[in-house]
Amino acid sequence: MRFGLLTGGGDCPGLNAALRAAVYRAERAGHQSVGFLDGWKGVRDGLTRPLQASDVSEALLHGGTILGTSRTNPFRVPADAERVLATIHRLGIDALIAIGGDDTLSAAREFYRRGGRVVGVPKTMDNDVAGTDWTFGFDSASTVAVDALTRLRDTAGSHHRAIVLEVMGRHAGWVALATGLAGGADATLIPEETYDEAELRAKVRRAVERRGFALVVASEGIELSDRKGTAGGKDEFGHELLGERGVGEELARRIEKATGVEARSASIGHIQRGGPPTLFDRILATRLGAKAVDLALTGAFGTVAVLRGAEIIGIPLDEALKAPKTVPIDWRDLLHTFDA
């Protein structure tokens, strides 16, 4: 068989590990692989690079994606969809492995509905893909965010300040939750919950009274009271570019004004998405990449390799594309146990 591999959507640590695993697994079973450049754009435009085990042997260690990525949606325009199918036919691709989040996987489903032979691998630092317990990229990104909060703790403590750390996560608060929990924040704001100014002020005051400083983690996707809407543009899948709203900065301004506690903010933005994958992400990405090839070899197209408990299994693309997975009540309850 000839496998085509692509990575789409926002990059995250672990993509190269998944590619490496898929290429090794295919090669070991006597099959070839080719990489499509920049996600679905590469399939649409026929942009490829060879992918052999020797090309990916070191990839495990590195963040980003050696194939490049984009947020191209090739099924928006009928002519583009035809170009996708033509490329697959022309290059003799027997099975496509699409590694990505909701958007990349929804394009994979569209491809499958048009007769394409595809298996998905979920990834995203946002951890919001339904049907899988965790996505790779999340552990690495959250580890960076916790490190940032730990550093902010030193400077907040020295200056007796409140510091707000803004983290990514789009409309799911998983990264903020992990950062707040593992980094010991005094308040953590996530998009799943209505944000309350008075409550936040009280938490900041209590933390400052108790130990002289306060740490707040805010997810980029929260709605600030009395300020709605987007300041930035949208991507090809229609998603707002939330980082441009600057909720962390605005929160710090409001905290200082309302409490008199000197406040600062930090936004680690795309720093969260880079760097080598953590142990957890390397192993998860490796298992998923290998499983995707196994699924394709058994003819299980239209599926996604996912983590369920300790097992890696294949589930239908439809199941992984249900509503995005947000933070449920029990996690939120645990999070707020540690609020100031």
The residues annotated as belonging to the active site are: 126
Nearer to ligand F6P (CB atom), residue 46 or residue 64: 64
Side-chain half-sphere CA neighbours of 25 within 13 A: 22
Nearer to ligand F6P (CB atom), residue 204 or residue 320: 320
Nearer to ligand F6P (CB atom), residue 48 or residue 140: 140
Residues that bind ligand F6P (CB under 6 A): 10, 101, 124-126, 168-170, 220, 235, 241-243, 273
Least separation in angstroms between residue 300's CB and ligand F6P is 27
Least separation in angstroms between residue 103's CB and ligand F6P is 8
Least separation in angstroms between residue 328's CB and ligand F6P is 19
Nearer to ligand F6P (CB atom), residue 33 or residue 104: 104
Least separation in angstroms between residue 269's CB and ligand F6P is 8
Do β-strands 311-316 and 303-308 pair in parallel, antiparallel, or remain unpaired?
A: antiparallel
Burial of 198 (0-12, 13-18, 19+ CB in 10 A): exposed
